[in-house]
Structure formats: structure tokens, C-alpha cells
Amino acid sequence: MELAGIVGKPNVGKSTMFAAMTLAPVEIAAYPFTTIKPNRGITYLRINCVCRELGVKDNPKNSKCIDGVRLIPIEIIDCPGIIRQAHEGRGLGLQFLDEIRQASALIVVADAAGATDPDGNPIRPGTGNPVEDVKLVEDELDHWLYNLLMTDWKRISRVVESKVGRLEEEIAKKFSGLRINESTIHMVVQELDLNPSRPSKWGTEEVFKFIRKLREKSKPIIVAANKIDLPEAEDGIKKLRGAGYNVVPVSAEAERILRLAAEKKIIRYLPGDPDFEILDDSKLTSNQKRALELIREKVLGKWKSTGVQEVVNKAYFEILNYIPVYPVEDPEKLTDHDGNVLPDVYILPKGSTPRDLAYMIHTDLGKTFLYAIDARKKIRLGEDYKLKWGDVISIIAAGRRA
Ligand SMILES: Nc1nc2c(ncn2[C@@H]2O[C@H](COP(=O)(O)OP(=O)(O)OP(=O)(O)O)[C@@H](O)[C@H]2O)c(=O)[nH]1
Ligand SMILES: [Mg+2]
């Protein structure tokens, strides 16, 4: 399952967003370092399911389908707060980052309302600097990777310069488990015009630039600009956008309240909806009703959604450029082996082929892959066919179908 990490300065609302995304009960408080160990949970990407278009009633297995909305699970990890010099052990250090090595994307939560100082202490809204919130996290991530590489840099240089190994290969090995591959390393070396056969001659500055570019390409970040319920956030969001980040305006707290109310069947609300509907007035105190009205007015009315769903959707479908694909065994009935209609949906990078999909489902299926059928058009697909958004695909393999 794909993994995304939630990182950021202390006290910006990371755990609130995690709680809103997963409904897991985690500690949330208005002071820094509330979270001391990473929290793991499951959240969902939201897409329009193909069941409506195809006019079928589906039986989802690896995902959920609610009123034509398909929800695809991904794993999410809420990390402790990061402050400047964390790589030297300040605050809680950076060791916990080991848990998000496998992340495909990083969600950096920033305090768009500027209500916290660089160490996460509460200050008057509008006085903090959300751009700095993101920069400090990027810098610390880069120091973390840099230090990791340096533990082995001398050996790598020796191996490469004595032609026992290739630079790309050695660095990829060093960063194994971090989803950093040889081709990305190669690309960055070229882009920065570094000499791949003389790493011992790279200066500190150059190695650092190399690390930064590698991190930007391998672990793209999306900024969740939190606290849009506060008026000061508007300015913070402008600044974040001006600094060139991919920004989604968010109110983690509003989303958490809406999700909890929906869970109790007090309101009808799906993450990502532009509004909610009160189902059971009698379960609400007048204060709770007022709180919901405020969310409608200050968040949904003004920003069109709480932004939380958009964060993961944008990370996977716009920044990482993934597409959802539905594998079925029977291309006529659109079912799996047990007769479940459109049971599964997989997400994979745009440009992937049916064979890539087969490998993703099962290594054996990838190895025995013969060809694939587009179940919508009932046609056989060519070897180099690139999967498209919402494709329904039947894979024909030697000895079996899936
Ligand atoms: N106004 C406003 N406050 C929020 C929002 N989301 C979170 N907060 C508040 O921000 C404070 C910190 O929330 P947490 O979720 O504990 O923050 P964190 O980033 O996990 O903090 P650490 O674990 O200490 O790093 C709490 O007082 C939350 O109520 C929001 O959308 N709007
Ligand atoms: Mg926390």
C-alpha cells in the first residue's frame, strides 16, 4: 500500500489532520511536542467510481464505494514535530524519520495563520512565518539525508573511483528502502553537472545540492496550509504560493469535527464534500450546532472544502501523477474469481503498462503475463499500451486469468 508521511513544525495541527483522516484517537494539544512517537493509520483517496458510468452495482474488496464515490486506502504516518537543528538532536531529533523512508510523498503541514513561532510556541496570529515553517522542514530533511549518505561516503568514493562499482548503483544501495532509484540519481548528477567518476572531489555544497534535488524528485512535498478558519491564514497562503510551493488550504480541525459528526450519523458528509447536511438535529446541543454553522461559514463557504481530502488526492493524482485502474478477471461481467463486480482498484504512475499492473497485483501474475483486455471496449491491448485513468483491465496470463 502507498504511504504518505505527515511532517512539520510542532503544534501546527499534524495530529489533528491525522485524526481527521483516520478517525484514530490521538493526542492533540496546543503546545509543542505533543506527539512523541509516530502514529500510523489508514486514510483514503477519493475518486468517482466507474460503477456509475458502467451502470453496475459493485462489490468493492480492496477499497470502498459509497454512492458512486470510490475510496482507495493509503497508509499515513503522523510524525513528531521538527524544529531547526533537529538533525543535531534539538527537540525530538529526527530518528523517527526512519518510519517514513518508504513514503511516496510528504505532506508538510504549515501554520498558515502564523499563530506559532519557529519552535511551535503559540504567538499572536499573523506574526509567524508559514514559509519558514516549510523551509525549516526541508532543510532538516536534507541534513538527515546528507548525514545518512556521509556515513558511507568515503567507501562509496573509493569503490567508484577504483571502478569496482558505479556511483548510481552505490548511492541507490545506500538509500535502499527510501524509494530513491538509480535513474533519478543519474538524472540529478547530470542536471547538476557533477562528475560521476570523481565523487571524492565533490564539495560539501555540491553534495548538499545533490541531496536537495534528489529529495525533491524522490519525495515530492505538498504543503497543507492549516488553520484557514482563522482570517490571518489568507495572507499566509499567498506567501506560501508566492514561494512556489504546491499548497492546499486546510482546516484540519474543521475536518475532524465534520468526520466525527458524520461517523455518529449526525450529519451527512464525505471527506472532500463542499457542504454537509444535518440528519439528526436532536443529537446536537446548541453549541455544537453553532460550531457546525461556523465551519460552514468560515471554512466551507469561503474555501469550498476543508481541504484535507484534497491534500492526499492532489499529492497522488497531480503531483505524483498516479492513475486508478480496475483489474477484473472476467471482462464481460467485470468480476473477480468469486463474482464480485469491480472488486479492486489499484493506483499506479501514469505511463504504466498492463504488465506493470500485473506485477503490482502479484509477482507471479507479472511473470506469466501474456496480454491484457480493455474490458470497456472488449479489445486486446498492445504490449506498449499505457494505462489510462479509470481503465478496467483483464489480464490474461499463462495458466490463469486474473
Ligand atoms: N484554528 C485552528 N487550530 C487548529 C487546527 N488544527 C489544529 N489546530 C490546533 O493546533 C494545536 C496543535 O494541534 P496538534 O494536532 O496537536 O499539532 P501537531 O502538529 O500534531 O503538534 P506536535 O505533535 O506537538 O508536533 C491544537 O490546539 C489544535 O486544536 C485548525 O484547523 N484550526
Ligand atoms: Mg502531533
* CB of residue 394 inside a 6 A radius of ligand 1: no
* CB of residue 253 inside a 6 A radius of ligand 1: yes
Which parts of the chain have pLDDT scores under 70?
400-402
Which residue's CA is the closest to the ligand 1 atom numbered 9?
13
pTM of the model: 0.96
Name the closest ligand to CA 252: 1
Q: Quick one: 249 exposed, middle or buried, by C-beta within 10 A (0-12, 13-18, 19+)?
A: buried
What pLDDT was estimated at residue 400?
60
Enumerate residues 6+ apart whose C-beta is below 8 A from 311.
17, 107, 222, 224, 248, 250
* CB of residue 81 inside a 6 A radius of ligand 1: yes
CA distance 183 to 89: 33
Phi-psi region of 399 (alpha: psi -120 to 50; beta: other; left: phi over 0): left
* CB of residue 33 inside a 6 A radius of ligand 1: yes
CA–centroid distance, 30 to ligand 1, in Å, is 6
* CB of residue 336 inside a 6 A radius of ligand 1: no
Which residue's CA is the closest to the ligand 1 atom numbered 14?
13
In ligand 1, which atom is closest to the CA atom of 10?
Answer: 25
Residue type, 120: G
| Ligand 1 pocket test target in 6, 12, 26, 133 with most atoms within 8 Å of CB | 12
Cell of 250: 486546510
* Structural domains present in the chain: 323-401 (3.10.20.30)
Mean pLDDT of the chain: 97
Q: Residues 74, 100: contact at Cβ < 8 Å?
A: no
| Ligand 1 pocket test target in 6, 26, 28, 117 with most atoms within 8 Å of CB | 28
* DSSP strand pairing (64-66 vs 69-78): antiparallel
| Ligand 1 pocket test target in 253, 294, 305, 311 with most atoms within 8 Å of CB | 253
Name the closest ligand to CA 109: 1
Which residue's CA is the closest to the ligand 1 atom numbered 27?
30
| Ligand 1 pocket test target in 14, 16, 97, 305 with most atoms within 8 Å of CB | 16
Which residue carries 496546543 as its cell? 30
What pLDDT was estimated at residue 399?
78
User: Where do the H-state alpha helices sit in 44-85?
Assistant: 50-54
What pLDDT was estimated at residue 268?
96
Going by C-alpha positions, the residue among 193, 101, 169, 200 that lies closest to residue 141 is 101
Cα of first residue to Cα of last residue in the chain, in angstroms, is 19
* CB of residue 28 inside a 6 A radius of ligand 1: yes
CA distance 94 to 86: 6
* CB of residue 115 inside a 6 A radius of ligand 1: no
